[in-house]
Amino acid sequence: MNIIELDGLEVRLGGRVVLDRLTGKLAGRAIGLLGPNGSGKSTLINTLLGFHEPSQGTARVLGMDTRRQGREVRASVGYMPENDSFIGNLTGIRFVRYMAELAGVPSAHALERAHESLFYVGLGEVRYRKISTYSLGMKQLVKLAQALAHGPKLLILDEPTNGLDPLARQRMIDLVRDVRDAGDIRLLISSHLLRDIDDTCDEVLILKAGRIAAISNLEEERRAHRKFIEMETAGAGEAFANAIRELGCECAVFPHDRWKLVMPEQVEIRDLYAVAARQGVQIRKMHHRRDSLEDIFLKAMDSELGVTRVGL
């Protein structure tokens, strides 16, 4: 099932095109939303929630048209905003209960849901304290609790680790993974931190200047496990290149005995050294890395705008 479907989506704000003809489908368990400041991430989220009406095209969330079925979309989505929007004098439990009621949970059940959500995120012992006394990390967690309280089918998290120290960040990431792995709720996570997306998502949508720069299935990229090698040699020739290719590697040779290889998963570094020893070749320098989300992002930023399926 496609979680998000965009078909020629255009959104204008103040007479300016902010989202320009977005077209694509995303079906991952956890979808990352990336892009530099001003790329349109927040506008896309608000459009998916039905707060901005498309000037052209359509956006569908969980199969529902955001223009015609905005209320149904919002009833099915939990939203954790980037900016705090608390009623400071309310306790955690009253706030989450109130937000659950606004989301359509009957009053008789909203309190129970609020307790469950606050215990789930680790705020059970402070749920009767006023939110104004919470630390930054606790405020992020109570935002997550209110987004979960009404039992959404899609959870939208906007900068969930914003401002958190390393321990609090890891706690948030662990919670997001727990929600993802439970399988009942799909996630859309917007972040300017590539590491957050890499740690939690299996698909990514990258925006640039209001258009889609890339859509990538991170699970497929991880399964491919392509390994890149850059090395410098002495005494290598065509026989060495042929032996490397027989291992299943793709290789390109550059001046001054510089090589670039793409190694299949079954080939290890020691196999290259074994070939070099048999051929009497000296490996003087080697750099080994796997392709990463950073590679995908940088490639998308350097590419011409347009929808692309990234496969490095």
CATH number where 236 lies: 3.30.70.270
Model pLDDT, residue 311:
39
Condensed to tens digits (0 to 9), the pLDDT of residues 6-56 reads 999 999 999 899 999 999 999 999 999 999 988 999 999 999 999 999 999
CB neighbours of 298 closer than 8 A, spacing ≥ 6?
Answer: none
Q: Indicate if 143 and 82 belong to the same structural domain.
A: yes
* Angstrom distance (rounded) from CA 81 to CA 147: 9
Q: Indicate if 206 and 273 belong to the same structural domain.
A: no
- Per-residue tokens: 206: 């990258």
* The residue type at 154: L
Q: Indicate if 166 and 245 belong to the same structural domain.
A: no
Q: Indicate if 213 and 243 belong to the same structural domain.
A: no
- Asked if the structure places residue 159 within a domain, the reply is yes
Q: Indicate if 84 and 172 belong to the same structural domain.
A: yes
CATH of the domain at 11: 3.40.50.300
Structural domain that includes position 61: 4-89+137-222
The predicted model scores a pTM of 0.79
Secondary structure of residue 186 in the 3-state scheme: strand
* Angstrom distance (rounded) from CA 9 to CA 198: 26
Q: Indicate if 22 and 81 belong to the same structural domain.
A: yes
Cβ-contact 211, 205 below 8 angstroms: no
- Per-residue tokens: 1: 């099932």
- Per-residue tokens: 22: 């977005």
- Asked if the structure places residue 298 within a domain, the reply is no
- Asked if the structure places residue 303 within a domain, the reply is no
Condensed to tens digits (0 to 9), the pLDDT of residues 200-249 reads 999 999 999 999 999 999 888 776 666 788 899 998 988 999 999 999 99
Give the count of domains, the chain.
2
- Asked if the structure places residue 130 within a domain, the reply is no
